[in-house]
Chains A and B, each alone.
Chain A
Amino acid sequence: MHRIYLDNQSGTRLDARVLQLILPFFDQQYGNAQSMHTLGQQAKDAMEKARVQVADLIGARNEEMYFTATASEANNLAVKGIAQAYQAKGKHIIVSAIEHFSVLNCGKRLGQAGFDVTYLPVDKDGLISPEDLKKALRPDTTLVSIQLANSEIGTVQPIAELSVIAREKGVIFHTDAVYAAGFMDIDVNQLGVNALTLSGNQFYGPKGAAALFLKKGVRITPQTDGGVQEAGRRAGTENIPAIVGFGAACELVKKEMPQFLPEIIRLRDRLIKELPEKIEYVYLNGHPLKRTPHNANFSIEFIEGEAMMLFLDQEGIYVSSGSACANKALKLSHVLTAIDVDAAVGQGSLSLTLSKYNNDNCIDSLLEHLPPTVERLRQMSPLFAHFQKTGKRQVAGPGTDYKHQHEHEEQEEH
């Protein structure tokens, strides 16, 4: 059966050229980069080459790049590490309400440790307001962490504009660029950030390597104590095959992005235009223009996302959903909640994310299989039956407890 992978925000397919490059580092050049012998030095040279490649992708200097195993680890290092290093100055940090859990839960953890955390709201398109950031800054604020792009709805934040506001107050600015890297030009100087997270698995590199850019002079408290690796900021034997692959992926994507990006944008725009033509009561989530080239996110009303995902799975089409059932937390995704998507409508969330490996056939296949799937689920849906009978969206029937628990106002026609 064909495989149509439209879940690239969960990780991309490894580039075959990257795979070939990293294989010798498992069984030929297997030295530990901290060893002084030849095998060790070969590993170290390969790692330092990768460091330059990663730095080049974002306009940083190689000595400002620190490797970690995952983007979550890099975000933990940035948020907790910077907050702790500057706690003599103040114990207030600011993050956005739609950050990845590796930032949000750092906020929670710091909150338990006596820090004060402000969660900045976003508008219905997912954008942070610079005014809100200005108002949230306090004399004891030490760190602002706002993502460059959102992995679920694709909204791209005005980071350069936001970072200036923090810089004027002498506050450190970190951005999680995991979801933007490889799909947008990124330059740490243009963005004006002091710290930035990126991960190779998001753009055709292997799992197991990510990095934190930390501008020279920014202090950080290590979150993993141990040896001297990564200039003492992140102890632990370096994962050389993954790091080599990460570096190679950065070099390739920097060179090839101009070639494949227009095609990804064209495919995304096909989805945004054609999907609502084929299915009624479909709403695009995220900013219509300020979004990453590879993201199309919809709410499909009257049905639930996990059921939709399972039917598509049977057709070899792999997607994701932010519905409560598809969410391990059994709650509607925090991102859809933050942009004020109606809690019932958001259950039909469908996230489609592209890569350079997608083509028109993938889009055609989705557009062929999704409408009958939606139709099938709507035929089973009591919400849709109610809507067809009454033209109203609220459910009321004998024994229902929906009326009491559903606190939102009834949705008007979009």
Chain B
Amino acid sequence: MPFYSDKVMDHFQHPRNVGEIKDADGIGEVGNPVCGDLMTFNIKVKDERLEDVKFKTFGCGAAIAVSSMVSEMAKGKTLDEAMQITNASVAKELGGLPPNKMHCSNLGADALHKAIEDYKSRQVKK
């Protein structure tokens, strides 16, 4: 049996929404390269909806696939809906992750939530 599911390999080999957004409305970053994974999410918000989501990830196959899947799940959703995405639901969408990857590589939803919180705190300041 291969180490990763077909879906993980698909997202790893053909990651969706890689990149940064020039004048992003929110940026969120989680992880730590010392542990092996670091994820940065950029979001563009219009009418309380995620108009665009882009990510950059330093990490293993699972970390890249998770980031890609999160970006796909989040795009077009309202901020409230996007906050409902959990690390567990991302792993489920990917057809599961190896047990030792559930903890460290599966941080994509956290990074997205941080980007949304960053957006909200910027709104307060305005």
Contacts and interface: CB of A to CB of B under 8 A. Distances in A.
Nearest to A385: B56
Contact of A405 (B12, B32, B40): B32
A400 B20 CA distance: 16
A323 B58 contact: no
A233 to B, nearest CB: 37
A343 B36 CA distance: 9
B contacts with A: majority SS: mixed
Interface band, chain A: 35 or more
A244 to B, nearest CB: 33
Interface in B43-77: 56-64
A398 B32 contact: no
Contact of A330 (B39, B61, B104, B118): B104
Given A310-B12, A314-B13, A400-B29, A347 B36 contact: yes
Contacts of B27: 397-399
A395 B60 contact: no
Interface string A56-98: 0000000000000000000000000000000000000000000
Interface in A284-307: 302-304, 306-307
Given A314-B13, A398-B29, A399-B28, A304 B56 contact: no
B10 to A, nearest CB: 12
A344 B34 contact: yes
Contacts of A27: none
A307 B62 CA distance: 8
B29 A307 contact: no
B29 A343 contact: no
Given A325-B36, A330-B100, A399 B29 contact: yes
B33 A395 contact: yes
Interface string B1-43: 0001000010011010010100000011111111111111000
Between A400, A401, A405, the greatest number of chain B beta carbons within 10 A of the residue's beta carbon is seen for A400
Interface string A315-327: 0000000011110
A402 B28 CA distance: 12
Given A398-B27, A399-B27, A400-B29, A406 B34 contact: yes
A323 B38 CA distance: 14
Contact of B36 (A324, A384, A400): A324
Nearest to B28: A399
A326 B3 CA distance: 11
A170 interface: no
B61 A306 contact: yes
A332 B30 CA distance: 19
Given A306-B60, A307-B64, A406-B34, A397 B12 contact: no
Contacts of B58: 302-304, 347, 380-384
B31 to A, nearest CB: 8
A3 interface: no
A242 to B, nearest CB: 27
A347 B32 CA distance: 11
A400 B56 CA distance: 14
B45 to A, nearest CB: 15
Interface of B: 4, 9, 12-13, 15, 18, 20, 27-40, 56-64, 100-101, 104-105, 114-115, 117-118
13 contacts: A303-B58, A325-B59, A325-B61, A325-B105, A332-B36, A344-B34, A380-B64, A398-B114, A398-B118, A399-B27, A399-B114, A401-B31, A401-B32
